[in-house]
Structure 1
Amino acid sequence: MTTLFGLPAHALLVHAVVVLAPLTAALEILCALWPSARRRLVWLVLALAAGVMVLAPLTASAGQWLYDQSSQHSPILEAHAERGEWAKYFALGLLIVAIAQTVQHVRESRSEAPNRVLSIVVAVLAVVVGVWATVGVVFIGDSGAQAVWGERQ
């Protein structure tokens, strides 16, 4: 995918990832730390994580196409292109956490007693992956913004 509505696809897709990845991360952390939220939001979080998993590689691919259109690359643009590859990994991490939370939810809904070990492991994983994904989006976006609008003074 190279263009959408006459615009570079990367410029449009990136906004979805920039919004959905941190939102998904925040909801996963919320669901990990607050069981009532997990009962209400687990299926939404799974859908969002699946969406991020689809959008991240599409966005990176569209970004690679845009990168290949130029013959001259600044160091910050090269850094942005390298960092853009991170999105695939944090998208996978968000999806794994969402699946783990869904399994946790299904297990808890079938039995009265929650599994403490599973709850702790999923909570730690959600916080680590959530922070990693959010920081990753910030670093990728910062280098992209600097590549487009110039380095900060």
Structure 2
Amino acid sequence: MPATVWGLPVHPLVVHLVVFLIPLVALAGLVVALWPRARRVAAPWVLGLTTLGAVSVPMATSSGEGLEKRVPHSALVEKHAELADGLLPFVAGLWLALAVIVAVAWYSRRAASAPRWATAVTVVAAVLTVGASAATGVQVVRIGHSGAKATWHDVGQERSGR
């Protein structure tokens, strides 16, 4: 991945995809988990968006690692990078829970009658989806806050020597 595009660092450009997609799929995951009608209609679409979100996370971390080498080292940048490295497992957990919901629904529609275990598995996957959605949303906020703090922490402060 190139370090810059049109003279701008790639990381702030790529990270906006993550900042948009991940909270969107976290909210959509909650809707799918908690509303059976939405589960039937939207779960495959939400899984597709979650797949795009999951692909965008390594792109953001990779571009962030490239940018980290080009900016002065600081504890704030270090904390941001550390938090960002932990996002993919949250998104993967959300993806997996949604995949189970979609797979059980698909199997149940094709079976002569819905298997007895389908409801229990769907309920467990829905509970896991709620937890993964909440955890993913919280992690994205923490990462975004730490990135903004690392970028803008000294803006607006008076400079000494004036």
TM over 0.5: yes
Q: Which residue pairs with 2:85 in the alignment? A: 85
Q: How much does 1:74 deviate?
A: 1.7
Q: Which residue pairs with 1:98 in the alignment? A: 98
Matched-pair contact (CA < 8 Å) for 1:90–1:132: yes
Q: Normalization by structure 2: what TM-score?
A: 0.86
Q: How much does 1:94 deviate?
A: 2.2
Count the aligned residue pairs: 152
Q: Which residue pairs with 2:160 in the alignment? A: none
Q: Which residue pairs with 2:125 in the alignment? A: 122
CA RMSD of aligned residues (A): 1.9
Structure 1 residues 68 and 129, CA gap change in structure 2 (3 angstroms): same
Q: Of the two, which has the highest radius of gyration?
A: 2
Matched-pair contact (CA < 8 Å) for 2:80–2:143: yes
**Identical-residue share of aligned pairs (%):** 38
Show structure 1 runs of 5+ residues with no match. Answer: none
User: 1:10 aligns to what SS in structure 2?
Assistant: helix
Q: How much does 1:84 deviate?
A: 0.9
User: 1:80 aligns to what SS in structure 2?
Assistant: helix
Match status 1:148 vs 2:151: yes
Cα separation, 1, equivalents of 2:8 and 2:50 = 26
Q: How much does 1:151 deviate?
A: 6.8
Q: Which residue pairs with 1:4 in the alignment? A: 5
Structure 1 residues 151 and 120, CA gap change in structure 2 (3 angstroms): farther
Cα separation, 1, equivalents of 2:46 and 2:6 = 29
CA deviation profile, 1:17-53 (whole Å, cap 9, x unmatched): 1111111111112111111101111221111111011
Q: How much does 1:100 deviate?
A: 1.1
Q: Which residue pairs with 2:24 in the alignment? A: 23
Cα separation, 2, equivalents of 1:68 and 1:3 = 13
Q: Normalization by structure 1: what TM-score?
A: 0.90
Cα separation, 2, equivalents of 1:146 and 1:34 = 37
Matched-pair contact (CA < 8 Å) for 2:100–2:122: no
Show structure 2 runs of 5+ residues with no match. Answer: 158-162
Cα separation, 2, equivalents of 1:90 and 1:3 = 28
Displacement over 3 Å in runs of 4+: 111-114
Q: Which residue pairs with 1:63 in the alignment? A: 64
Partner amino acid, structure 1, of 2:100: A
User: 1:69 aligns to what SS in structure 2?
Assistant: coil
